[in-house]
Structure 1
Amino acid sequence: MVLYFILTRLTATASSSSFTHHNIAHIQLGSLLQHKHSNNAFLVLFNSFTSATPSDGNHHKGDTFTVSYLINSCGLSPELAKKLSDRVNLKNPETPNAVIALLKHYGFSKTHVAQIVQKYPKLLVANAENTLLPKLKFIQSIGVSNMDMPKILISNHCILFRSLKKCLIPRYEVLRSVVRDDLEAVRALRNAPRCFTYSDIMSYLVPNIEALRQCGVPQSSISHLMIHMNSVAFARHSKFLEAVNTTKEFGFNPLRTNFVVAILVLLKGKEVWESRFEVYERWGWNHEMAVRAFRKFPNFMKLSEKLFTRKMSFLVNDVGWPSEDIAEYPLVIMYNLETRIIPRFSVIKILKSKGLLGKNLHFRDFICITEKNFLEKFVVKFQKDLPLLPDVYRGVINHSNVM
């Protein structure tokens, strides 16, 4: 009797549906009647009529809308939109529209919107007024322009979701205390926004800066560190102190900016910089020469063995410059080989071959000067006699075709 009652109710429901549902119901009922003497008849019936639920359709519609919105409103490709739809479910356009409108008000272009949504699609379901707006107002209030705002937030979207009172304001106050003014604080934030929320400021930054001050490092060098390489300042304190002590042992003067630059190099670890010295020795630099070069321009030690060897091979083997001379001016190997060293050498080689320059011209006099000065002294000055010289410099023609 129970089974007959259920069959009657379901048949009535099916008959009130569309033609398709009516046929499906009768097919399912027919299948069920074949099992009416089975103990599992009710289970078969229940599974048949619940295999497609309304929620499945709604979820599919949500996926479709999300993908469509990511493509049309965020500028994402269909493939990427489909992939990101697994990470965010947009139910209506109102919330994401408010988020995008707010971002555009603070300097985000369509490209910027696409970039930040690609990194963090759930941003689109954030509360624009209560969650995002207070953070954007704060960032703007400390001096971040609408031009810099997208760069900072695309690099570190977590800023928008951290507590203003418990995280952002206290961290900014610490950052501001280790530089000279708000402008420097903004530059530090712009160049390394991830450090602002991901690093332990009180355990690393504060004691590291204090260690520098105890060494006599001036504020100008500390500001340089915070603006251009503040990841160094957020290094683990014990490792930072070790690098500071090694920097002293190498004879760096704490009063010069090179002191904090050397710390950056030495933070890589003893094995790394010792292996660099082995490479320098293979190019004829003894330990004293290598240390002297390091003290003059510590950044050159950041070059990988492969890149250092490639540049030295050109300068020593192809150009014929003494390796010892390069050790005295290590800055030269920091310049780009293809865009600076080779083009300038090509011009100088032509001028020397024509007798227009003395043979004793030192490489620092044409490699280490500004682009403007080089053009005036070595290209424009001789262009009347050598009209193809600019083409040689731009790499349009080979210097051997002019010599």
Structure 2
Amino acid sequence: MFKISSTLFLHFIHKRSLNTISTSTLPLPSVSTIEFLTNSCGLSSGSPTSAGRKLQFDEKHIHQYEAIIGFLKSHGFDNSQIAKLVSKQPSILQSKVPNNLKPKFEFLQEVGFVGPLLPKLILSNPGILLRSLDSRLKPSFFILKEMLGEKGNSIKNSCDLSTESPSSAGGKLRIDEKNIQQYEAIIGFFKSHGFENSQIAKLVSRQPSILLSTVSTNLKPKFEFLQEIGIVGPLLPKVIASNPGILLRSLDSHLKPTFRFLKEILKSDEKVTATFCRCTWLLTSNSKGALRSNIDILVSEGVPSRNIAKMTEMHPRTITRNVDRMIDAVKTVKELGVEPKDGMFVYAVSTVASMSGSNWKKKINIMKSLGWSEKDIATAFKRFPLYLTCSEEKMKDVADFCFNTAKFDTRTLISYPVLFKCSVDKRLQPRYKVLEVLKVKNLLKNRKIASIFLKGEKTFVEKYVVKHLAEIPNLMDIYRGNVASETKSVL
């Protein structure tokens, strides 16, 4: 259930003057009610209401007063609290229980103000009961809900914010009710740029200090810059939500220099923008730090600029790695026999740099457990480095299929390590069934079965399925898994 602190909620709703209704002066027939209102609540025929007008007891309304008092008691108010409430806001006695008080109490309970918290909230600001439920209370609540998120059961749990938490310098942001209008302006600005409530909540949760920003001098110029370089429409909220730090970096000394640095490598605005979208952390990386140092390392090794650009575009996170990790990755790749001028060198570096030393050793040991030698591992790595990024389970599943189902020898898998990236259930097994049937019907001329697994979907279907439907009408069903192949493996 979503809850909001009473202090913050009260600040939102306390903005309008109160209107009260005067009644005529007649004696009250209920002595106990008269005594309670006069002695405990301090009211009389001459008591001023908060609007400066007089609340005068009316004999016709005595049952209404008693109903209101009874209603408050049924919701946990004791006599002293009721007295305090009526003393502070006498016009509450003019309310209607079914049409006014009951709906508001139900709403407050629904949003989390239950038990002793309900009387406490209302006593701290009796004006809550005089505000319109639909035009004041609910809108105020949902403004806060949009800002602070829909998950959790408190401000702290929703966005890791609190009225008592330390300032942003200490890791959290103190919500200051004096700045509510600023918060609303920021939320409105985000919404005007296509942010959904959930995205705003995520943004504030991850980077609360964004609420300290100024729209005109901080957020607006950065949004305009991002839009100028092509991050527009739904892409804009997506990029910022994935890396809120973008809005905390200096536009002139960080964001723009980083963009210009990457443009030197990629040569076009479009490629830089596409790369940012692929790795939003790139935009907040220091172009004078790790980015430049890592690029310099590759240049010093003789890696062609076009290959560096390719790596930056396809695996941008690699150039944001710790410099020491980049140095170690380059060393490892060279030891495995991949030359810097080789087109696979940058992919090999990206693969090694993406893993810790212990994880790298674990992958090597997995391949050895499958019967591969270090030379086999290195040979496959030169052909397709990314095969070592597969999980242990994936490696073993593919090896099991290749060796036990398709009956490949080790040399075949070493020659086609890209098979490790293929799905056994969605690609390898369905295609194998088709090829098995074609083999039995003497319709398969290509004996290099492994290469057929790597063909594009359209090419495979046209050349190995559609082409043979006349001879094998149910071949498409076999491919889709609707009909089991009755032939045994002869591959």
Q: Normalised by the shorter chain, which TM-score bucket? A: 0.7 to 0.9
**Please, which of 172, 189, 192 is the counterpart of residue 102 of structure 1?**
192
Tell me the secondary structure at the aligned position of residue 337 of structure 2. coil
- 2:300 partner amino acid: Q
Does residue 1:278 correspond to 2:365, yes or no? yes
1:256-286 Cα distance to aligned partner (Å, 9 max, x none): 3311111122222444333333322332322
- Cα deviation, residue 138, structure 1: 0.3
Q: 1:223 aligns with which of 309, 320, 330?
A: 309
1 or 2 for the larger relative contact order (CA 8 Å, sep ≥6)? Answer: 2
Distance of 1:26 and 1:69 partners within structure 2: 30
Distance 2:315 2:431 in 1: 30
How far off its partner does 1:130 sit? 3.9
Of 329, 341, 345 in structure 2, the residue corresponding to residue 259 of structure 1 is 345
Residue matched to 2:438: 351
1:365 alignment partner, one of 451, 459, 465: 451
CA separation of 1:345 and 1:328: change in aligned 2, threshold 3 A: same
Q: What residue number does 1:190 align with?
A: 277
Tell me the SS of whatever aligns to 1:178.
helix
Which structure shows the bigger proportion of residues in helix conformation?
1
Cα deviations across residues 350-376 of structure 1 (Å, max 9, x unaligned)?
211222224x62123311111111011
Residue 3 of structure 1 is matched in structure 2 by none
Instruction: Give the aligned partner of residue 338 of structure 1.
Output: 425
Q: Distance in 2 between matches of 1:131 and 1:202?
A: 23
Q: Alpha-carbon deviation of 1:333?
A: 1.8
Q: How does 1:65-214 map to 2 (within 5 A)?
A: 65=139, 67-69=141-143, 84=158, 87=161, 95=185, 98-104=188-194, 110=196, 113-120=197-204, 127-197=214-284, 199-214=285-300
Distance (whole Å) between structure 2 residues aligned to residue 215 and residue 78 of structure 1:
50
Unaligned runs of 5+ in 2: 1-37, 50-54, 56-64, 70-76, 85-119, 162-174
Q: Secondary structure of 1:254's match?
A: coil
Cα distance in structure 1, aligned partners of 2:427 and 2:80: 76
The match for 1:54 among 104, 107, 125 is 125
Provide structure 1 residue ranges, at least 5 long, that are not aligned to the other structure.
Answer: 1-9, 29-48
Instruction: Quote how far apart the aligned CAs of 1:99 are.
Output: 1.9
**Overall identity of the aligned pairs, in %:** 24
For 2:431, the aligned partner's letter is R
Which residue number corresponds to residue 45 of structure 1?
Answer: none
Q: Distance in 2 between the 1:343 and 1:117 partners?
A: 44
Alignment-derived partner of residue 324 in structure 2? 238
TM-aligned CA distance change 1:101 to 1:265, over 3 Å: closer
Residues 184 and 50 (structure 1), Cα distance of their counterparts in 2 relative to 1, 3 Å cut: closer
Using the TM superposition, give the Cα deviation of residue 315 of structure 1 relative to its aligned residue in structure 2, in angstroms.
1.3
Displacement, 1:294?
Answer: 0.7
Read off the aligned partner of 2:328 and give its amino acid letter.
Answer: E
Q: Give TM-score, length-normalised by structure 2.
A: 0.64
**Residue identity in the other structure for 2:42:** A
- Aligned residue identity for 1:289: D
2:42 matched residue in structure 1: 14
Letter aligned with residue 189 of structure 2: V
Q: Tell me how far 1:135 sits from its aligned partner.
A: 1.0
